Chains A and B, each alone.
Chain A
Amino acid sequence: MSITSDILRGHTEAIILSHLLEQDSYGYQINKDIMKKTDNRCELKEATLYSAFRRLEQAGYIRTYWGDETVGARRRYYSITQEGREAYQNYKRDWEEAKATIDQLLK
């Protein structure tokens, strides 16, 4: 389990980008989505999530804007940029390669 969460943490940025490919989203929704897809086995610490947001923002892969919720606190949404889409495709390709290599090595 600890290996799983370590590996996951290393791919936080890619997981976020993958989620944003479908739709604009905000921190808690992304985390909820991760939990749902992994049957509640995995959840990112919020600090991990936010530092990944900042890195992605600095790299120009995502943009942020404040929602206009009328009830309760405003949400901070993120959307993926064109550069982000390209980075995601590269990342995905690299990951497929790495996965294949590790599969070969761990037979």
Chain B
Amino acid sequence: MNEKIRKHINELFREAPRTRRAVELKEEMAQNTIEKYEDLIAEGYQEEDAFRIVIDSIGDVTELFEDLKDRSLFLLPEEQRRKKAMLTAAAVGIYIFAFVVLIVCLVVTDIYFSGSELGLLGFALAMLLCIPPTCMLVYAANMYPAHNKKEENLVELYKEAAVTGSREKAIRRSVSMIIWLVTLLLYFAISMKTQRWEVTWLTFLVGACAQMIEVLVFNLKHSG
């Protein structure tokens, strides 16, 4: 019967926020309820009656975690949030490092080895260096916990949409950031290689074009 009481209380806490305090409250409630149940049995109540009495006396628990509910919907658990911040910081750091590598290679080529292919090598190296942070950003964007769908009601659908929405937004943000960084790198690489600064600004038009394509792809995916 204790298992039945625990099961019932677990059910009551299904919508509770996933926090240590919620777990403790559940444990406290289960312990008190079971103790009360045992007292009723000792007084001579039938098992079913005692069960009904203790369950009735719990009352409405939703008020206990109602105010935590809305916030917890959009918040990542503390640990994941820290991990995400760390990943993002590391990714940005590597981007900057890649950029510095490129500049150094180009400057060194310009000064010491004029006409050699070191500049191109530097560009290739910078592009390679851009791969890990890009992967990290995409991974971090996907770390929003996917909402666990249990009931097909409006509230659940709304929650699902809210979570999916913020995840997609995060992905879109990182994609457009990557597009602009690559554009910038390309601009400097091409410009320094060709030394035709009066034409190379067109790179940014290409970048804008890529951005538009990205928006289009996302919108098509959304409507489809």
* Chain B residues near A51 (CB-CB < 8 A): 63-64
C-alpha spacing A35/B14, complex, angstroms:
30
C-alpha spacing A47/B61, complex, angstroms:
5
C-alpha spacing A14/B27, complex, angstroms:
25
CB distance from B21 to the nearest CB of A (A): 8
* Chain A residues near B57 (CB-CB < 8 A): 43, 45-46
With CB as the reference atom, state the residue of chain A lying closest to B61: A47
B58–A27 contact, CB under 8 A?
Answer: no
B11 at the A/B interface (Cβ < 8 Å)?
Answer: no
- Name A75's contact: one of B31, B33, B36, B61 (CB within 8 Å): B31
With CB as the reference atom, state the residue of chain B lying closest to A45: B59
* Chain B residues near A54 (CB-CB < 8 A): 64
A74–B31 contact, CB under 8 A?
Answer: yes
The main secondary structure of chain A at its interface with chain B is: helix
A28–B35 contact, CB under 8 A?
Answer: yes
B55-75 vs A, CB cutoff 8 Å, 1 = contact: the mask equals 001111101100000000000
B195 at the A/B interface (Cβ < 8 Å)?
Answer: no
A76–B24 contact, CB under 8 A?
Answer: yes
B59–A76 contact, CB under 8 A?
Answer: no
A47–B28 contact, CB under 8 A?
Answer: no
With CB as the reference atom, state the residue of chain A lying closest to B60: A47
A48 at the A/B interface (Cβ < 8 Å)?
Answer: yes
Q: Which residues of chain A from 17 to 37 have any CB-CB distance to chain B below 8 Å in the complex?
A: 26-28, 31-32
A72 at the A/B interface (Cβ < 8 Å)?
Answer: yes
A27–B63 contact, CB under 8 A?
Answer: no
* Chain B residues near A91 (CB-CB < 8 A): none
Chain B: interface residue total (CB-CB under 8 A): 20
With CB as the reference atom, state the residue of chain A lying closest to B25: A50
C-alpha spacing A87/B180, complex, angstroms:
60
A72–B28 contact, CB under 8 A?
Answer: no
CB distance from B58 to the nearest CB of A (A): 5
A106 at the A/B interface (Cβ < 8 Å)?
Answer: no
A105 at the A/B interface (Cβ < 8 Å)?
Answer: no
C-alpha spacing A46/B5, complex, angstroms:
14
A50–B34 contact, CB under 8 A?
Answer: no
A46–B31 contact, CB under 8 A?
Answer: no
B32–A45 contact, CB under 8 A?
Answer: no
A73 at the A/B interface (Cβ < 8 Å)?
Answer: yes
CB distance from A43 to the nearest CB of B (A): 7
- Name A28's contact: one of B27, B36, B59, B61 (CB within 8 Å): B36
Would you mind naming 15 contact pairs between A and B with Cβ atoms under 8 Å apart? A26-B31, A26-B32, A28-B32, A28-B33, A31-B32, A46-B29, A46-B33, A46-B58, A46-B61, A47-B59, A50-B29, A51-B63, A54-B64, A75-B32, A75-B35
Binding site for A on B (CB under 8 A): 24-25, 27-36, 39, 57-61, 63-64
